[in-house]
Amino acid sequence: MAVPVFILAGLLVHCVFLVSIFDIYFTSPLVHGMTPQQTPLPPPARRLVLFVADGLRADSLYELSSNNTPRAPYLRGILENKGSWGISHTRVPTESRPGHVALIAGFYEDVSAVAKGWKENPVEFDSVFNESKYTWSWGSPDILPMFAKGATGDHVYTFCYKAESEDFGAQDAAELDTWVFDHVKSFFNSSRSNQTLFSALNEDKVVLFLHLLGIDTNGHAHRPNSREYKENIKKVDEGVKEIASVIENFYGNDGKTAFILTSDHGMTDWGSHGAGHPSETLTPLIVWGAGVNYPQKVTSQFFEDSFLKEWKLENLKRLDVNQADIAPLMASLIGVPFPLNSVGTLPLGYLNNSAHFKAESIFTNAVQILEQFKVKMSQKKETTLSFLFTPFNEPRCCHLKRNRPLSDSEQINFLKKARLYIQQQKYDEAVSLCKTLINLALEGLSYYHTYDRLFLGLSIAMGFVGWTIYVILVIIKTHTNLTKTVQAGYKKSAVLVYGFAFVGMIIAFFLLIQRCPWTYYVYCLLPVPVWYAVAREIPVIRDLAANLLSLHVGQSIGFLLVCTLGIEILVFSFFYRSTLTVGLLVFAGWPVITQLWVQAKTTALIWTLLCALLAIFPLMPVVGREPNIPLVIATGLLTLLISCFSLASSGKSENKYRNYEDLKVLFYQMLSIALSTYVVSSTHDSLKNKQGLPVLNQIISWMTLVSSSVLPFLSPTFLFQRLFSILLSLMSTYLLLSTGYEALFPVVLSSLMLVWIHMEQEALQHYGLSHKPKLAVFNFAYATDITQFRQLHLDDIRRSFFFIFFIVTAFFGTGNVASVNSFDPASVYCFLTVFSPFMMGGLLVLKVVIPFVLVSCAFEAVQVTTQLSSKSLFLIVLVISDIMALHFFFLVKDYGSWLDIGTSISHYVLVMSLTIFMMVMNGLAQLLTTKRLGLPRRTKHHST
């Protein structure tokens, strides 16, 4: 297979492996075709007011201040005297959009929402707003439009401020909440002189939604433990009190208004969210007004956490719910149909109504969820061959004491029995039976939703194993002397082609008659050509087996154990960053273990010292530390000092390669470093004084970003000059994205990479594989003479392992963890402070990629200076990373805590992304090291 075709095939295969995880674990849970279900009894409330304090943590609201006074006096008074309270447990991903969908539509959205942006609906869905008579909403343009867009008819109205108002560097983000409160007050005042609006407001089934973004914005900008975040909670408390008073007065205190205050997600101590940490998943819930229970005094209550004591709420009954349970609660309070796709269970503890009303409401809830189960089951039955269809079985612990499908007759029996209990006024029995049915239906929904998971997982695993074996065979066949040049087997090739084509047709036919989605064809047919490619190499496998049998068994087992241990260390580092420190300390002793220090004492000593220095970084705290801007500034000055030293040593040496143009490029890069250092300092001071992001700083930052991608191409292609140029260019951008100790990381990493290149030269000479080239005059542009390439040696596996280890260190060494919430939004404030998820995400990814580029360029230098084709060594890298990815594929889980589920999927996505990145980086490194712009006078040497 030609190199470009192989690389394209590799990229395609790995992209399929990466995307597959979303089809296997994240698919839309929505089904359509259900009948709306509504409680037949009159509701207790005519209208509902929903306050969502975006980014508000449960502990931040409920805990008392240092002087033992409540942070939100009005809301504390409500939960102590007028309403019910608890914790709402959210799910991963803890982002604004999925959180609001769970609250208002009652289901947990899949990740496809992220792919289309926060403002669009990837799939249309029903919601409490859609079922209401009228809904008026005020708040963020990122949240409100998606509920209006999905609504049928013209009855959901939105009032949004401009997107530019969501500025992390603004004077006070609490102004966003003040805007909402002011507009709601003026709305009610204006309605008195607008008869149409006044009449609409006095209808039944009205919802008023206030989305309060200030707390989230202040949390991102200043952290949840900041004075700004806590002051914002106080302002929200005052605003809620004022709005509740305005609404009660408007309706003449008719006692027909229900109020709910909650949050879409919490926030980590370092001001991010998205993963499953308790600080992100625990949000407050306070409900009061019409139809809501008053506070219930208790003498004792048991929860696994110690929050009740910390918050001094031990004597008030705490009613915890899942976030999706709030949608049926709202629907029940105002008497609208439960949202069609809601999977929430009505929390009866919050209702202050008759036992009859509660029984009817939970019965309606059960029927509504059962409707989804029936549709999901019929869909799966229609698209599965009858002899392969396995219906959902009730758990053996079920009170029916039999393990049988939740069939149509069983569903009817459940409903008949529940209805009979209600007619006989046995309301407790009816409620208990309905809850059992709800739990069964939800388990059944989950069963059919994940019906194809095992089948798809096995297909992907087969593709993975086949691809890895094929790459190993390519390495052995084309880059080693382990096999003879075998050209036999062509007679069998026709049989192989027809055999695999037949298997492919069988699979395609099987998928076709089951009406499977097109992605299933990709996942199930991918292993066919991959294993065909493996089967074509049977002569190589035979030859290899014969060679392996002649090897010493003890040595072979020892080698395999060392390889396995190395890969396990890499896997372990995803769970414990300190593993990398241990690995780097072992690397520090590498010259001693292999006796390399004997022939290069100085180089070996520097290598050991730099390994030990780099080993400190994985032990540093993850993101969430306080910004250390002086350290970033010091790093900028250190980089300038190193540049001056480089310039001086270059002038003193007999280096004739620098001309006036080269010096101009170096001076411009030094100017960029100086400007970046100034911008970081100036921007931090400006944001600290709440003066926003200075426009000049923003312009310099973006210009630096653009120029840093061009400047390396203007520098000479001599090995150390080009690598140093790449470091300076990327460092100017990296400084702008740094907030603390991670700014030092690229400097230490690059120093180690330069020594690594020298060490590999010593290793090459040590094993007698090649002569030692003079690195000072080594030119990337003329380093691709194919006749100079050597075959792979066992030591090259160690080189490839070093590269992957440094890549993983480049990720975890800068304070990242394998989780969505590990990224600090403060990193992008030199570029923008107005909320823009994809722009900010792109800059954060760039910050992660910069150390990867430095390692990749050093690896390219190692390859060419050790006389290896870039393909041969990179294939070993691909095998190691694929074995890691396969390891994580089997570690992905869909059970346990949401933190465990989210972490397992994050690990797999990260290692697959790293593999794809490394394939791209391999090409990028070749481009960055070999190409030069604007040098037409360079003469080319052609070998004859």
Write the pLDDT tens digit of every residue in 616-666: 988 887 655 677 899 999 999 999 999 888 877 766 554 444 577 778 888
Over residues 224-242, mean pLDDT: 95
Q: Which residue has the higher pLDDT, 411 or 490?
A: 411
pLDDT at site 113: 52
| Nearby residues of 397 by Cβ (< 8 Å), 6 or more positions away | none
CA pair distance 364, 351, nearest whole angstrom = 15
Q: Which residue has the higher pLDDT, 565 or 152?
A: 565
- Using the Cα atoms of residue 581, residue 586, residue 587 and residue 591 in order, give the sign of their dihedral: positive
The pair of structure tokens assigned to 815 is: 């304070």
Least confident of 107-111, 246-250, 482-486: 482-486
Q: Which residue has the higher pLDDT, 126 or 26?
A: 126
Long-range Cβ pairs for the range 440-443 (8 Å, 24+): 440/394, 440/398, 440/406, 441/366, 441/369, 441/370, 441/372, 441/373, 441/406, 442/343, 442/369, 443/392, 443/395
Over residues 807-820, mean pLDDT: 74
Q: Which residue has the higher pLDDT, 250 or 96?
A: 250
CA pair distance 728, 746, nearest whole angstrom = 10
Which residue type is seen at 576?
Answer: Y
Is pLDDT at 398 greater than 50 in this prediction? no
Q: Which of 4, 17, 879, 8 has the alpha carbon at shortest distance from 522?
A: 17
DSSP string, 242-295: HHHHHHHHHTTS-S-EEEEEE-S----TTS--SS--HHHHEEEEEEEETTBPPP
Is pLDDT at 114 greater than 60 in this prediction? no
Model confidence pLDDT, tens digit, residues 337-375: 999 999 999 999 999 999 999 999 999 999 999 999 999
Q: How confident is the model at residue 539 (pLDDT cuts 50, 70, 90)?
A: confident
| Nearby residues of 553 by Cβ (< 8 Å), 6 or more positions away | none
Per DSSP, what are the bridge partners of residue 260? 50, 287
- Per DSSP bridges, beta strands 321-322 and 156-160 are unpaired
Model confidence pLDDT, tens digit, residues 305-349: 889 999 999 999 999 999 999 999 999 999 999 999 999 999 999
Q: Which of 407, 472, 471, 470 has the alpha carbon at shortest distance from 440?
A: 407
For the chain, the C-alpha Rg in angstroms (whole number) is 32
Per DSSP, what are the bridge partners of residue 490? none
Mean pLDDT of the residues in the chain: 85
Over residues 669-683, mean pLDDT: 94
pLDDT at site 560: 80
Q: Which residue has the higher pLDDT, 191 or 554?
A: 191
DSSP string, 612-674: HHHTTGGGS--TTSPP-HHHHHHHHHHHHHHHHHHHHHHHHTT-----HHHHHHHHHHHHHHH
Over residues 80-93, mean pLDDT: 92
Q: How confident is the model at residue 528 (pLDDT cuts 50, 70, 90)?
A: very high
pLDDT at site 714: 85
pLDDT at site 756: 92
- Using the Cα atoms of residue 680, residue 685, residue 690 and residue 692 in order, give the sign of their dihedral: negative
How far, in whole angstroms, is CA 180 from its chain's centroid?
31
Cβ count near 282 (within 10 Å): 21
| Nearby residues of 655 by Cβ (< 8 Å), 6 or more positions away | 776
pLDDT at site 203: 95
Q: How confident is the model at residue 940 (pLDDT cuts 50, 70, 90)?
A: very low
Which residue type is seen at 419?
Answer: R
pLDDT at site 294: 95
CA pair distance 82, 71, nearest whole angstrom = 18
Q: What are the angstrom distances between the C-alpha of 419 and each of 235, 424, 426?
A: 48, 9, 10
Cβ count near 694 (within 10 Å): 17
Question: Which run of H or E residues covers position 85?
Answer: strand 83-89
Is pLDDT at 163 greater than 60 in this prediction? yes
Over residues 824-844, mean pLDDT: 84
Q: How confident is the model at residue 455 (pLDDT cuts 50, 70, 90)?
A: confident
Q: Which of 21-35, 174-188, 715-729, 888-902 has the highest mean pLDDT?
A: 174-188
Q: Which residue has the higher pLDDT, 821 or 224?
A: 224
Q: How confident is the model at residue 118 (pLDDT cuts 50, 70, 90)?
A: very low
CA pair distance 712, 851, nearest whole angstrom = 15
Over residues 101-123, mean pLDDT: 66
Long-range Cβ pairs for the range 766-775 (8 Å, 24+): 766/594, 766/595, 766/596, 766/599, 767/793, 767/795, 769/793, 769/795, 769/866, 770/866, 770/867, 773/865, 775/719, 775/720, 775/865
pLDDT at site 783: 60
CA pair distance 471, 14, nearest whole angstrom = 13
CB 405 within 8 A of CB 393: yes
Model confidence pLDDT, tens digit, residues 408-448: 888 999 999 999 999 999 999 999 999 999 999 999 998 88
DSSP string, 466-491: HHHHHHHHHHHHHH-SSS------HH
Q: How confident is the model at residue 402 (pLDDT cuts 50, 70, 90)?
A: very low
| Nearby residues of 145 by Cβ (< 8 Å), 6 or more positions away | 119, 158, 160
Least confident of 30-39, 362-371, 547-556, 740-749: 547-556
Is pLDDT at 117 greater than 60 in this prediction? no
The pair of structure tokens assigned to 203 is: 């209808």
Q: How confident is the model at residue 96 (pLDDT cuts 50, 70, 90)?
A: confident
In the chain, pLDDT over 90 holds for what percent of residues? 44
Q: How confident is the model at residue 245 (pLDDT cuts 50, 70, 90)?
A: very high
pLDDT at site 396: 43
pLDDT at site 450: 84
pLDDT at site 243: 97
pLDDT at site 567: 87
In the chain, pLDDT over 70 holds for what percent of residues? 87
Question: Which run of H or E residues covers position 87?
Answer: strand 83-89
Q: Which of 177-186, 487-496, 589-598, 756-765 has the highest mean pLDDT?
A: 177-186
Over residues 72-99, mean pLDDT: 92
Q: Which residue has the higher pLDDT, 522 or 29?
A: 522
Q: Which of 736, 734, 745, 801 has the alpha carbon at shortest distance from 619?
A: 745
Q: What is the pTM of this model?
A: 0.81
Q: Which residue has the higher pLDDT, 154 or 377?
A: 377
Instruction: Show the 3-state SS of 585-600.
Output: HHHHCHHHHCCHHHCC
State the DSSP code for 937. Answer: T
Q: How confident is the model at residue 236 (pLDDT cuts 50, 70, 90)?
A: very high
CA pair distance 449, 391, nearest whole angstrom = 12
CB 31 within 8 A of CB 229: no
Is pLDDT at 80 greater than 90 in this prediction? yes
Least confident of 241-245, 388-392, 478-482, 864-868: 478-482
